[in-house]
Structure 1
Amino acid sequence: MSETSEDTVSFGYENVTPQEKTRRVGEVFSSVARKYDIMNDAMSIGMHRGWKDRFVKRVKPQPGEQILDMAGGTGDIAFRMADRGADITVADINQDMLDVGAERAMERTESDETGSLVFTCQNAEDVSFASNSFDAYTIVFGIRNVTYKDKALSEAHRVLRPGGRFYCMEFSTTEWSGFREVYDVYSDKLLPRMGQAIAGDADSYRYLVESIRKFPTMPEFESMIRDAGFTNTRVEPILGGAVAIHSGWKI
């Protein structure tokens, strides 16, 4: 059943209207925008940096390519790809996150080989770009917050040129027994406390945990990517699937 057939959608463990979810997700990221990168370091013990480097290596951005980095907010992925010469459009539905990314971009030291960066407020379910505009589409730790993921995937397929590639990195459910139980305790007990201590917001990080638990499994999400029209789909688990890199191609 398509997500768009539901009268309510999940916001963590709650069922709310689509409009309410969009509003509440916006409040979450506006609340944590200034501490977002600090919290990423704390939550992952710095491992998110390695995951993002690994992700960009899979994308293989090339000089002069046009890449849409959706939910790119603070620019972590975009800066890595621009350093390889690609021209990056950083899109996010939350202006507060984009403002942090734009400020960080102004502080960067650029070389002659650095690609361009453009920041724009966009809804992943209905982007303003023409069809066949980009060579690659990336979305990192963002699609689980989208109200209608099937719409976002369809838009990703639409804006890519034939031969374009889709890459998504998202939290998932680890398949490592033993580690899964430890991870669940860490998520339930420690993450909200860290959110309160560092960002002054326990509720947003409680939502983070709930949104991960509600996200489709790796095979389910790969199926959604195929349903959007992508071929040669692939899933690369990290930490047994606690994080996963999904990819597909538009032909």
Structure 2
Amino acid sequence: MRRTKRHTFLGILSIGGFPDIDILIDNKKLIRKLYDKGMCNAFGYPTSIKRLLYKPIEDIIVYGNQVLRGLINNNQGCRNYYDMHRIQYIIQYSIAYTIARKYDISLKKVFRKYHSQLIYSYTNDKGQGKTIRLALYHSFKRDKIFFPQWLNKIKQSVEYKYKDTNPLKRNCYICGNPHQHIMFHRKKISLLRMPYSHIIKEMIRINRRQICLCQECFTKVSQNLLEYNQITKRKLT
């Protein structure tokens, strides 16, 4: 029997008005990708990800979701899509092994505490409670029209709309003057020295690296002649 080369185009049949594009997943290639990412050994057995051991659990799970979606989503139309359960297994257990090694506990305790989906609740930098989990797929049933629909989308004509976002066409941030614009830039926070000038304080507050000013306001803020309330109580136009 003639063997078919993996991950190559095999043929087209018409099914339900859509061409059936027959493609096979190259499982060995996907496992090599996971091996390169440190998620398994050369034989496809899950391992902990050493470079993520110092990361918080939420970041470890986020990374697992990125790899999981990246490898699985784009193969939904492949004939052997059911083989992706092994890829998911490797990613799932690799993340679990990483958490287990991070806290020096057994894999059994990890699944007992965080369940099979590795559900983890935490508080973010803004003090908000968040919950994250591994986005496991419950079914690996092939979607026969996945690739045909994708082909139809890329064949459609696209209308590009140009949007003018020139910051120099904005009004002055402080006084609202629509003329004589100059961009005022600040350095990264790590490169700034204390105490900050009033304009730098405001730019940090609104999370901007540059703002549009008129010539007069630019001169004043450069010499730190404006009080902070004069900058924040700007004219809105």
- Quickly name the TM-score band, shorter chain normalised: under 0.3
Q: Which has the higher contact order (CA 8 A, sep 6+)?
A: 1
TM-score for the superposition, normalised by structure 1 = 0.20
Relative to its length, the structure with more helix (as a share) is 1
Larger Rg: 2
TM-score for the superposition, normalised by structure 2 = 0.21
